Amino acid sequence: MNNARLMHGMHVVLTFLLLIIVTLPIISLVVGAFTQQMPWPRLWPEYWSLRAWEYMISPTSDVGVAIWTSLSIAAAVTVINILLAVPVADALSRYSFAGKTWIEVLLYAPIIIPAFVSVMGIHITFLRLGLTDTSFGVMLAHIAPSLPYMIRALMISFGTLGFEWEEQGRMLGARRMQRFRHIVLPHILPGIVVGSGLSMLVSLSQYLITFLIGGGQVITIPILLFPFASGGDPNIAAAYTLVFAGLAAAALWGLDVLLNMYYRRR
């Protein structure tokens, strides 16, 4: 009894702590976005201001273009990741072959090795191919850091899909594409959604790769945000951060809606 009460107490305290940790920065962010300046050591602004937002909706800010570029690059990256990761994850999680461990290490390397390292090589190659300063080039470069997450999520899905389901499908006359569509796809769909969410978020938050490959010509939200955050204007940076957070939330929500539509149709 006592133990249960203690556990409950700890539960309450931990939940409260977590809420503070998560909400405090957001509060200061929101406050920062709606004020002019907040001289130290004040915790609350003297007066409110919409200056940051006025700047953002002004035509000089490029924010509309940046949102569109960010989202379209993230979406394209995700689609390509799905197409690449499905066969890769299937092979890695359900088949055994020589050199499998090395291929896995290679595929996960972008998570561990700093993006800067691979981008230098990619940059030189893209310069030769004429892909720098283009959205297409940026999109290709975003695949490296985001693909491992998609592969990982799909490998878990494939790991729980035994071959017997496809064998049953074959005995019922289903050809390869029919088996994929009616048996494999419904099973790995949750993995695709999780991987897509991660892939979108990773792509949306790329700064360095976008900056180097895009050469300042491809404007995404992080590209706009960075100069303000690194000393220019913390209020505008705060406003951009909110836009960015909204974008990420909208992307995840959109995936959720798509998934629900799929399940309702069934």
Partner 1 sequence: MNILRVSGLTKTYKETKGNDSFSIRLGNLEIQEGESFAILGPSGCGKTTLLKCIAGLLPPDEGLIWIGDENITSLPPEKREFGMVFQQPLLFPHMTVIENVGFGLKMQRVGKKERRAAAQAVLAAVGLSGYDSRYPNELSGGQQQRVAVARAIVSKPRLLLMDEPFSALDPGIRGEMRQLVRDIHKQFRITMLLVTHDQDEAFELADRIAIMHNGEILQTGIPTEVYMKPNHPFVARFIGSSNVIQGECHQGEFRSNQLHIKLPTKDEVPSGPGWLVIRSELFRSVSSLEEWQLKGVLIDVKFRQGYYQLQVDIGSMTLHMLESMPDNRIPQVGETLFLSLDSSQLHYIPAIE
**Which CB atom, from 46 or from 167, has the smaller least distance to partner 1?**
167
**Which CB atom, from 102 or from 164, has the smaller least distance to partner 1?**
164
Residue 35, strand partner residues: 48
CB of 43 to partner 1, least distance (A): 53
State the Rg of the chain over Cα: 23
CB of 166 to partner 1, least distance (A): 10
CB of 4 to partner 1, least distance (A): 33
CB of 176 to partner 1, least distance (A): 9
In angstroms, rounded to a whole number, what is the distance separating the alpha carbons of residues 240 and 105? 36
**Which CB atom, from 21 or from 98, has the smaller least distance to partner 1?**
98
**Which CB atom, from 133 or from 166, has the smaller least distance to partner 1?**
166
CB of 184 to partner 1, least distance (A): 11
**Which CB atom, from 38 or from 161, has the smaller least distance to partner 1?**
161
In angstroms, rounded to a whole number, what is the distance separating the alpha carbons of residues 118 and 209? 9
Contacts with partner 1, residue ranges (CB under 8 A): 164-165, 167-175, 178, 182-183, 186, 266
In angstroms, rounded to a whole number, what is the distance separating the alpha carbons of residues 251 and 198? 10
**Which CB atom, from 183 or from 255, has the smaller least distance to partner 1?**
183
E strands present in 28-136: none
**Which CB atom, from 157 or from 210, has the smaller least distance to partner 1?**
157
CB of 171 to partner 1, least distance (A): 4
CB of 71 to partner 1, least distance (A): 30
Q: Is the Cβ–Cβ distance between 144 and 126 less than 8 Å?
A: no
